[in-house]
Amino acid sequence: MKVLVVTTWFPSASAPASGVFVRRDVELLRRTHEVDVLHLHPHGAVGPTDAAPGVRRLAMSTSNPVDILRASRALRAGLARYDLVHTMSPSALLPFAPLRVRIPWVHTEHWSALLDASTVGLPARLGLGAALRLMRRPDVVVAVSSALAEHLEARLGRTVEVIPNAVDAPEQPRPRPPAGGPLRLVAVGGLIPRKGPDLAVEAVAELRRRGRDARLRWIGDGPSRAEIGALARRLGVDDVVDLPGGLAPEGVAAALAESDLFLLPTSVETFGVSIAEALLSGRPVVVGANGGQRDFVAEPDGILVAERTGIAYADAVERSLELARDRSADDIAAPLRSRVSPAARAAAYDAAYRQAVLAHG
């Protein structure tokens, strides 16, 4: 099929991490379909170096009606050349409002604000209603987790399919470190309240109080950096809490390989890509209980923690170490590997496309 992907989330030189999951989906779809991308980006966010085959860039402010209308006109002129249109962000729906879409339409949803509006600013929260109204129009709606699908089904009054996010995984996870050394904990996520870095630091302090040589490496940056550094100093663990900022994918992979356990006290995730990456790297995980990670985190390889205290997370770390004591890296990675494999995800999207064609008539 000839498919047009429309998204406001796609990597560029100025924002290389934006929409990486969309780019991965496009790469997957291109294995079996002819796929072009229309990237609706903020003004000034894209330059000449961002040119890429099959990707058209069009400046569109999501708060500017003139920009949205210009994007609508571009779509009206171009949709007839395609067999199917696939939107991949809620704001990408905006230019479809005045259009009568005459080809099958699939929408994939990842937005964390749909599960927890506090994760975004006031302008985005004000746009939630419009996004949900527009989400009733595609022939098929896909969510990246059961938690998000259930929420959308309740709000939209329609069936929502589930296709998990793309996840980077090593071909072969490195063996787990031998027992007897320091307890090396790693987290990957922004230094923001939702990800729970304060609880991770408190858990490290509690584990050390219990006599464990626990150390934490938190990969990622954000506005809570100074606050988390101050908390580590106040609890006397600043010498064992490392905040290196963001790392390239190979740096993240190396940190996971060197770790004993992945710890992320997140309050909510639409899917939990970093959690999945940790499991596929063969490391047990201790994470928050709310969100899409419920689809794939289960004992003995993972523990979901509902109580939001450092003591609860320290307890879960110790329980996880016991449960996973005899599990190899391959044992930990295997249950999730088949669920998020490219073949499984490609087959699921092919089924969604067939369903959209039938529904469209």
**What is the β-pairing status of strands 302-305 and 214-219?**
unpaired
pLDDT 10s digits, 104-122: 999 999 888 788 777 666 6
Whether the bond into 300 is cis, omega within 30 of 0 = yes
pLDDT 10s digits, 143-189: 999 999 999 999 999 999 999 999 988 889 999 999 889 999 999 99
- Count of residues in the chain: 361
Average pLDDT on 71-87 reads 96
The yes-or-no verdict on residue 39 having pLDDT over 70 is yes
Where residue 7 falls among pLDDT bands split at 50, 70, 90? very high
Average pLDDT on 127-144 reads 91
Question: Could you tell me the pTM of the whole model?
Answer: 0.90
Q: Which residues pair with 253 in a beta bridge?
A: none
Query: Residue 342 CB: number of other CB atoms within 10 A?
Result: 12
Domain spanning 2-165+340-360: which superfamily? Glycogen Phosphorylase B; (3.40.50.2000)
Instruction: Report helix angle 225-234 to 197-209, nearest 10.
Output: 20
Are 2-165+340-360 and 183-337 equal in CATH topology?
yes
The yes-or-no verdict on residue 123 having pLDDT over 80 is no
Question: What is the overall mean pLDDT for the chain?
Answer: 94
Where residue 342 falls among pLDDT bands split at 50, 70, 90? very high
**Least-confidence region, from 13-27, 70-84, 190-204, 308-322:** 13-27
Where residue 51 falls among pLDDT bands split at 50, 70, 90? confident
Per cent of the chain over pLDDT 70 is 98
Angle formed at CA 151 by CA 345 and CA 127, multiple of 5 degrees: 100
Task: Kindly report the CATH number that applies to the domain delimited by 183-337.
Answer: 3.40.50.2000
pLDDT at 49: 80
pLDDT at 126: 67
Domain boundaries, the chain: 2-165+340-360, 183-337
